[in-house]
Structure 1
Amino acid sequence: IDERRDPYLSTQKATDYLKDLYKVYGDWLLVIAAYNCGPGNVNKAIYRSGGHYDYWKIRRWLPRETRGYVPAFIAAAYTMEYHKEQNIPVAQPKFTFQNLDTVHLTKRTDLSAVEQYTGVSQEELAFLNPSLKKGVVPASFDGYTLRLPLDVMKAFATNRDSIHHASQKMVADKSDDEEENESTATKSASGPGNDMAKINYTVKTGDNLGYIAEWYDCRAQEIRNWNGMYGSRIVPGETLTIYVTEDKINHYKKVDDLSFSQKQAIESKQDQGVDVTTVNASTTAEEDECDCKIYTVKAGDTLWDIARNYDGVSTTELKRANNIRYSSSLKPGMKLKIK
């Protein structure tokens, strides 16, 4: 949890700090300057100006950023106060405190479990609770206040025990996965097994070991071991040795000929539990036949961000239209259908 990212708590702390600064300077412009560059720099500027406690008289001795920060603050405050007179339209927030409620949690709660039982997407939950850095409310004696849309409070209260149980199961499953990965890493260190076949992959522009490992259902460290690599640097045109299971070698041989978006689309299907070894490469080009808009995912995108760019589109509709089960399945280069 990073409470600095919580708009309510961070604003409360900021206003407390501003009040303390006003007790020192007795002038709000000097307070804003000190908030930006620190009281030490303001005190130095006051001294160099001959003891003036007037922002405009000490401005020349302040850091360049602060000389621009205070006028910008004044302009922002003026715009907020007189936006009607200046015919400046005001954007209404998607959420207000009038249609939100809170619930106090002391047990570990995973936002994916909350999504499962309330229907509120993880992106929306993260937006409402920005201090949660990893999508999880940690267990604590003092607890954490989780913000939720008012209309799902009944669903949360009804399924509260199920949500906690699901969160505990996720922890157990994660521990099992970590043990399995550790076991796999130990085995892979000694080389490929007898049921593995060797194929080659030619590195393309934009590739990295993480992507390649996903496309061939292996680990990046295995690729390093197979190719005698000590780092993660690869260059376009370089040939990598990859070992895959013999019974699926025909599927993996096709990967080298696919475009980046096609490979990412197949990986997305695999995240949804589809047997990608039976997927024909041509089916990944569905955007050519879709009577809809196509959006190419960029680095840092979330379903929540993408949905907000299209009127009437929700994250649930995006998941349904693109067969996405988890938000974490999004990867740069993926093509999303917007209906």
Structure 2
Amino acid sequence: PTELALLPIIESSYDPFATSPAQAAGLWQFIPSTGKIFGLRQTWWYDGRRDILESTRAAYKFLSQLYNQFGSWELALAAYNWGPGNVKRAIERNEAAGLPTDYWSLTMPAETMAYVPRFLAVAQVIKEPNTFGVRLNPIVNKAHFRETYAKNQVDLTSVAKLAGLTTKQLYQLNPAYMRWATNPDGPHRVLVPLNTPEIFEQQLAALPAPDRYITVTNRYVVKKGDSLHRIASKFGTTPAALKRLNGKLISKRGYVAVGKSLVVSRSKQLVSGDNSVDIEKLANPAAERVAQIEKADKEKAVAAKSTRKDDDNDKVSKKYHKVRAGQSLYAIAKKYDVSVKELAQWNNLKNKSNVQVGTKLVILLEEDEDTKNTSRTAKASKGKDKRIASKEDSPKKNKKERIKRISYEVKRGDTLYSISQRYNVSVSQIKTWNKTSKNLKPGQDLIIYLAKS
């Protein structure tokens, strides 16, 4: 049914950058595993779940498959939301009890019970807006963009200039690209507005392949005398990043047992005709400088404490949030860059979907030693989101080092971690360059320094 094109209103509000606590992403909110089943590639460079065309094709295929399985669009939509296995078991329970097995007769979670009625209501409003006092701007029934193909990996900022667009406008059309360039291994498809001059294709074909970087994941076995900070420094990453990659293998205090195998990230450079060149250190002078500052600060702190303490000086600060009318746990979790699950655990909440107005919630936030008082900085920056890095915070340039400075506009759903992963820098670097806290605002401009090879 044509109305299925309206499903992203329920799923993502038509925001291809939307992400959920369950790791769902894109217009159609595919979780990683389902995305892979339906051919949506997810790499360091590219996430097919955010590809407007590919994710729509996958959703069409998935919904068609669900309809063929259950024979009802209501049940197909319920399975899209709740999972086909759950719907199948709910049908089997009703069959065993001699009850009807249509959508309206099944016992399902409240979210799924409301999912189909919400969709039907939206479809009705779109069909008859005047009946419901809704004014919709007309959309011309024609294509608004066209597909173009580069012959190799291309720098997206260069592509934007050729197309007469800002980098932000190009990313809005091509949200699947997670970095500054297309995937080295493809796809090299770029969507541009329909009115882009025809000469653009020729110029795009003539663009040379940029110097490119990939991040590969290696494992490191912890040795006697290792600390989290030393391991992070060795592999050009941060203790916080290692914690995120390895979960429960690393304790909250940063302890890790000898003999444990940790996942670490290292940078490798792809050189034309030679894929074997290994860069031991991050190809970013700024990263090296920030790492040195962090190391010096942390060593001072460690010297003042027990020798048993790890070099990683992340501290936990306890904050309180008073729930206001209209706020959900998801909105509060997003505000503090934590998960709904963590919020529920910290406050012993059994019902994650309902929280009473006026409730005081405990929020536990990790702070690095070099980012103390960031909340004060964030408050002082209200209305002044655009920042320019000071000379002290900017990477120093010399003849050997060529630094590319870019400006990134924060989008809804962005976190410091997701932005750091996009540009292969650390969270600490972004904080240092922008004097910002964990709380980002959509529309805020961040300064990012990248190394050119």
Q: TM-score band, normalised by the shorter chain?
A: 0.5 to 0.7
Following TM superposition, by how much is the alpha carbon of 1:177 offset from its aligned partner in structure 2, in angstroms? Answer: 8.5
Distance 1:177 1:114, change over 3 A: farther
Name the residue aligned to 2:193. Answer: 149
Name the residue aligned to 1:163. Answer: 207
Deviations 1:26-65 (A, max 9, x none): 222122112221222223322333252322222xx22222
More helix by share: 1
Deviations 1:161-214 (A, max 9, x none): 66325x2389789x79935749x95xx8xxxxxxxxxxxxxxxxxxxxxxxx5x
Between the aligned partners of 1:270 and 1:118, the Cα distance in structure 2 is 36
Distance 1:157 1:336, change over 3 A: same
Distance 1:264 1:65, change over 3 A: closer
- Does residue 1:220 correspond to 2:301, yes or no? no
- Does residue 1:71 correspond to 2:117, yes or no? yes
Aligned mate of 1:178, from 254, 258, 282: 282
- Does residue 1:30 correspond to 2:75, yes or no? yes
Distance 1:179 1:133, change over 3 A: closer
Counterpart code for 2:117: P
Following TM superposition, by how much is the alpha carbon of 1:82 offset from its aligned partner in structure 2, in angstroms? Answer: 1.5
Deviations 1:273-326 (A, max 9, x none): 999xxxxxxxxxxxxxxxxxxxxxxxxx82788xxxxxxxxxxxxxxxxxxxxx
Q: Is the 8 A contact 1:123 1:304 kept in 2?
A: no
List runs of 5+ in structure 2 lacking aligned partners.
1-45, 214-268, 272-278, 303-309, 318-368, 371-376, 398-407, 413-432, 446-453
Following TM superposition, by how much is the alpha carbon of 1:160 offset from its aligned partner in structure 2, in angstroms? Answer: 2.9
Q: Is the 8 A contact 2:78 2:112 kept in 1?
A: yes
Name the residue aligned to 2:28. Answer: none
Q: Is the 8 A contact 2:150 2:188 kept in 1?
A: yes
- Does residue 1:231 correspond to 2:312, yes or no? yes
Aligned mate of 2:170, from 125, 129, 133: 125
Between the aligned partners of 2:292 and 2:141, the Cα distance in structure 1 is 45
Q: Is the 8 A contact 1:106 1:139 kept in 2?
A: no
Between the aligned partners of 1:330 and 1:116, the Cα distance in structure 2 is 26
Between the aligned partners of 2:76 and 2:181, the Cα distance in structure 1 is 37
Distance 1:43 1:152, change over 3 A: closer
Aligned mate of 1:267, from 369, 377, 389: 389
Deviations 1:210-232 (A, max 9, x none): xxx5xxx9643343345548224
Between the aligned partners of 1:14 and 1:136, the Cα distance in structure 2 is 26
Between the aligned partners of 2:59 and 2:183, the Cα distance in structure 1 is 26
Distance 1:25 1:180, change over 3 A: closer
**What is the alpha-carbon root mean square deviation over aligned residues?**
4.7
Distance 1:36 1:56, change over 3 A: same
Distance 1:303 1:40, change over 3 A: closer
Counterpart code for 2:312: G
List runs of 5+ in structure 1 lacking aligned partners.
189-212, 242-256, 276-300, 306-328
Distance 1:117 1:232, change over 3 A: farther
Q: Is the 8 A contact 2:155 2:182 kept in 1?
A: yes
- Does residue 1:115 correspond to 2:129, yes or no? no
Provide the TM-score with structure 2 as the length reference. Answer: 0.42
Name the residue aligned to 1:324. Answer: none
Q: What percentage of residue pairs aligned between the two structures are identical?
A: 24
- Does residue 1:302 correspond to 2:409, yes or no? yes
Q: What aligned pairs does 1:251-262 form with structure 2 within 5 A after superposition?
A: 261=381
Between the aligned partners of 1:218 and 1:43, the Cα distance in structure 2 is 56
Between the aligned partners of 1:40 and 1:138, the Cα distance in structure 2 is 34
Q: Is the 8 A contact 2:285 2:395 kept in 1?
A: no
Between the aligned partners of 1:110 and 1:172, the Cα distance in structure 2 is 15
Name the residue aligned to 2:135. Answer: 89
Tell me, what secondary structure is at the counterpart of 1:136? coil
Between the aligned partners of 2:393 and 2:207, the Cα distance in structure 1 is 23
Distance 1:139 1:17, change over 3 A: same
Provide the TM-score with structure 1 as the length reference. Answer: 0.53
Counterpart code for 1:144: H
Greater radius of gyration (CA): 1
Q: What aligned pairs does 1:282-301 form with structure 2 within 5 A after superposition?
A: none
Distance 1:268 1:162, change over 3 A: farther
